[in-house]
């Protein structure tokens, strides 16, 4: 195993440790928060959160730009350029944070009072929650250059440790809101703001202390500002369509159905986020190497990473999604006790969507590595944004709320088909190889493993069904992946890795 592959594996394990810890705590805190706030207040919090997040599409666009230019400079071993990118990015994020606050306190407040369907007796509390979330989001915007620097230097262990801090603080918060007598929705939002501030300060201290390049200095060369602005400018289009097509659905549902449906949607989205973060962290470990290998003109390794990260991302998530999908009803009722209507169906549809999302990141990262994203973003954004008007039309015609996610899934399938053919032209991705090595084996694995697991689980109920279906799905999926999901070279690497692990344990 090469040193670069070993580094990816090490970073992935660090990020997995972080996510397991975060997921366990999230499962506990979500249950306590839902119980403490109640369905209505939880729905209010989630719809305001979705609304506030829509306005950060400018920042999300800059995340990709910062990450790409830092990784590219590192791939060329240009330390001075790394320092310049950090400084320029930091200044731009300060400006974005200020611009974000102006938008949310003007246009945002108008929409908040004019369109959001919030019970009149909770509008005062909702306004305070809105302000806390705006400040918290502004802090996360300014934190982006720190995150990008840590990822670019591949110091993933930091994220594992910071997660422990967040875990302790969140447990403390849920315990406090359970016993304090003040308005729990306001308290919950305030404490989350305090956590954001603490995490921001930790990131700042760590980066300034650890990385010589992570110190702001005013950089006057307008060329780098222009490069970042052009790259992120096209990213703005893509991120706006993505954020609005996802969080916009929650707002649409609020307008048509009220805050109760937002509680169900918010819960399902949070479950999807928890599950998908396992893969997101895995992909985070791959992203720097994809860009760096392109910058170093190591195109064989570059293409290898695209294929390996695409397959591995899907397989890792499918291990989790299949038993969760089959047992969603039982798990949610045991976990939450009182499950808002539509939560189970929303959760299952989001799990399907999460599996489809695993294909996007490797292709997107390969395009960002080239630096030429204009055409990609224009077409990608147009297709992605179709989800919102189509959902509005279906809701206007009286269709069930579940159709907003069915439309999103169908839209995403169409989007990925287009992405494959676009990337094949831009970076010479071999379409036939992509289909035979990735898509076809995955279809077979999902069909066979899903059918076997479902048929063997229908005769059982509750805990026995959960236990048996989990065991069967893991064993069946693992066998199928080994025999048809990976190539001979990957089988050799896997066997060697297992042998080394066994030898270490015996020693």
CA distance 267 to 343: 7
Residue-wise pLDDT tens digits, 209-248: 988 888 888 887 788 877 777 776 666 666 667 777 777 8
| pLDDT > 60? residue 10 | no
Residue-wise pLDDT tens digits, 68-85: 788 778 777 778 888 888
CA distance 84 to 61: 19
CB 369 within 8 A of CB 302: yes
**Percent over 90 (pLDDT), the chain:** 23
Q: pTM of the prediction?
A: 0.74
Radius of gyration of the chain (CA): 23
Residues 188-214 have a mean pLDDT of 91
Alpha helices in 55-153 (DSSP H): 57-75, 79-104, 107-114, 123-142, 144-152
CA distance 439 to 272: 22
Domain map of the chain by residue range? 3-429, 432-507
CA distance to 47, 176, 362, per residue, from 32 (Å): 19, 11, 36
Mean pLDDT, the chain, as a whole number? Answer: 83
CA distance 64 to 60: 7
Residue-wise pLDDT tens digits, 101-157: 998 899 889 988 888 888 888 889 999 999 999 998 889 888 888 888 887 777 767
CB 193 within 8 A of CB 132: yes
CA distance 505 to 21: 24
CA distance 139 to 65: 19
CB 140 within 8 A of CB 100: no
Convert 417-481 into a string of H (helix), E (strand) and C (coil): HHHHHHHHHHCCCCHHHHHHHHHHHHHHHHHHHHHHHHHHHCCCCHHHHHHHHHHHHHHHHHHHH
């Amino acid at each position: 195993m090469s040193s670069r592959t070993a580094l990816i594996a090490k970073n992935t394990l660090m990020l997995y440790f972080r996510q397991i810890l975060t997921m366990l705590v999230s499962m506990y805190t979500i249950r306590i928060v839902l119980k403490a706030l109640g369905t209505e207040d939880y729905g209010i919090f989630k719809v305001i959160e979705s609304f506030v997040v829509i306005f950060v599409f400018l920042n999300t666009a800059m995340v990709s730009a910062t990450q790409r230019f830092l990784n590219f400079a590192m791939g060329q071993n240009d330390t001075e350029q790394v320092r310049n990118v950090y400084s320029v990015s930091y200044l731009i994020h300060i400006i974005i944070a200020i611009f974000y606050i102006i938008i949310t306190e003007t246009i945002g407040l108008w929409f908040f009072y004019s369109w959001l369907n919030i019970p009149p007796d909770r509008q005062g509390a909702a306004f305070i929650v809105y302000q806390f979330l705006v400040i918290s989001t502004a802090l996360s915007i300014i934190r982006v250059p720190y995150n990008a620097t840590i990822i670019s230097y591949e110091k993933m262990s930091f994220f594992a440790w910071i997660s422990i801090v967040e875990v302790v603080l969140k447990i403390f918060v849920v315990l406090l809101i359970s016993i304090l007598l003040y308005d729990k929705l306001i308290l919950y939002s305030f404490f989350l703001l305090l956590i954001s501030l603490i995490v921001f300060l930790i990131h700042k201290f760590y980066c300034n202390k650890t990385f010589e390049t992570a110190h702001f200095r005013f950089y006057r060369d307008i060329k780098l500002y222009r490069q970042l602005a052009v790259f992120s400018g096209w990213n703005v289009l893509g991120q706006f369509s993505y954020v609005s097509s996802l969080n916009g659905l929650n707002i649409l549902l609020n307008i048509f159905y009220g805050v109760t449906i937002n509680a169900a949607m918010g819960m399902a989205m949070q479950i999807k986020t928890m599950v998908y973060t396992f893969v997101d962290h895995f992909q985070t470990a791959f992203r720097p190497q994809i860009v760096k290998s392109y910058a170093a003109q190591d195109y064989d390794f570059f293409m290898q990473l695209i294929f390996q990260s695409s397959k591995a991302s899907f397989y890792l998530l499918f291990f989790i999604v299949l038993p969760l999908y089959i047992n969603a009803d039982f798990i949610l009722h045991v976990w939450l006790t009182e499950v808002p209507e539509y939560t189970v169906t929303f959760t299952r549809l989001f799990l399907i969507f999460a599996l489809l999302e695993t294909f996007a990141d490797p292709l997107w990262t390969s395009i960002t590595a080239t630096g030429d994203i204009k055409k990609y973003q224009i077409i990608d954004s147009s297709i992605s944004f179709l989800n919102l008007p189509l959902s509005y039309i279906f809701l206007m015609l009286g269709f069930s709320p579940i159709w907003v996610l069915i439309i999103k899934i169908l839209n995403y399938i169409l989007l990925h088909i287009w992405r494959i053919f676009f990337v094949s032209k831009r970076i010479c991705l071999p379409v036939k190889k992509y289909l035979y090595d990735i898509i076809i084996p995955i279809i077979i694995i999902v069909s066979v493993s899903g059918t076997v697991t479902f048929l063997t689980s229908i005769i059982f109920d509750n805990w026995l069904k959960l236990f048996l279906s989990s065991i069967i799905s893991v064993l069946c999926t693992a066998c199928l992946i080994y025999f048809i999901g990976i190539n001979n070279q990957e089988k050799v690497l896997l066997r060697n890795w297992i042998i080394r692990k066994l030898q270490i344990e015996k020693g």
